Structure 1
Amino acid sequence: MTIRDARPADVATILQLIHDLAIYEKEPDAVRNTPEQLHQALFGPAPSVFAQVAESDDAIQGFALWFLNYSTWEGVNGIYLEDLYVRPDARGEGHGKALLQNLARIAAERGYARVEWSVLNWNEPSISFYDSLGAFPQDEWTTYRLTGPALTAVANGTAT
């Protein structure tokens, strides 16, 4: 197995894995991302996200897509892991663990304060996996999101 930075030639495969993840997360029609958008985000003049892939048997078996966040308390960046996904037939072979170890190594080498992510409450296999690594939930925090009409209303100053 090899963990390496994503390359432009990997975009189509990563996007397919993103679609596979959406199916796994019971949102099969939610992905609007295009190859052009993903390529721009990863490899454009000002990349806003980063990705590593896990390869074995000359094929990408999984990926981690992440971006930087910032801790105002710590005064340093951290990594926010947006997506971690391993093909079902490659699970249990260490790809997910290797991808997370690589992110932890990047964070440690760069002096980042943390690696964090969200997991769906029903996703027991992933929760067990994360627990086994020593990760812990942030139970005192609730994720909020503005999207669609609510986002537009706030942006326009018309929210109630």
Structure 2
Amino acid sequence: MIRPATPADVPAILRFVRELAAFEREPDAVEATEAMLADALFGTSPAAEAVIAEIHSQPTGFALFFHSFSTWTGRRSLYLEDLYVTPEARGQGLGAAMLRHLAGIALDRGCARFEWSVLDWNAPAIAFYRAMGAVGMEEWTVQRVSGEALKALAGR
């Protein structure tokens, strides 16, 4: 079952984020707190949305997403920030079900695209995404400014 996340899911979402960070070899990179996630997902001006995958009424995965905008299409897109299924629940179709669910949300909202990033060393995920119909954007690279570099760029 896939359902919209509720405020009661925030502790599980943060646990999933931490597990995903450990898998992605960045276990100490998570700065988010339950309060931060609760505000980002359910505050007065939500920055993102999430869905929860359940087996026997137990949260076993999540997907967190938000909208971006394409000037080329003149429409917004759905951007998947995180997709995670607990190791014990993998292989049961939850990841594919969440991707299909989000693709449906994208279509229902008139989105031109459904996009996400994947680490280049995560061959199983890349193969899974290709099997789901995703196409790699090999000619594009992600650029990021954060921390002290962000402050310097802003002149602060």
TM tier relative to shorter chain: over 0.9
- In 1, Cα distance between the equivalents of 2:3 and 2:142? 30
Q: Tell me by how many angstroms 1:57 deviates.
A: 1.6
2:57 and 2:98 mapped to 1: Cα distance?
17
How many pairs align?
Answer: 156
Aligned to 1:104: 103
Correspondence 1:20-35 to 2 at 5 A: 20-35=19-34
How big is each residue's C-alpha offset from its partner over 1:139-160, in whole Å with a ceiling of 9 and x where there is no partner?
1101000011111110017xxx
Structure 1 regions of 5+ residues with no counterpart? none
Describe how 1:53-132 pairs up with structure 2 within 5 A: 53-132=52-131
Per-residue deviation, residues 81-128 of structure 1 (Å, max 9, x unmatched): 000000011011011001100110011111100110000000011001
Give, in whole Å, the separation in 2 of the partners of 1:111 and 1:147: 31
Identity between Structure 1 and Structure 2 (%) = 52
Tell me the SS of whatever aligns to 2:119: coil
Superposition CA RMSD, Å = 0.8
SS at match of 2:125: helix
Structure 1 position 5 matched with structure 2 position 29? no
- Which contiguous aligned blocks of 4+ residues in structure 1 show a shift greater than 3 angstroms? none
Q: Give the Cα separation in 2 of the matches to 1:110 and 1:147.
A: 31
Residue 45 of structure 1 pairs with residue 44 of structure 2: yes
- Aligned partner of residue 50 in structure 2, secondary structure: strand
Gaps of 5+ in 2: none
CA deviation vs aligned residue, 1:12-31 (integer Å, no higher than 9, x gap): 00100000000000000000
**Offset of 1:39 from its aligned partner?**
0.1
Distance 2:43 2:149 in 1: 30
**Matched residue of 1:63: which SS?**
strand
TM norm structure 2:
0.98
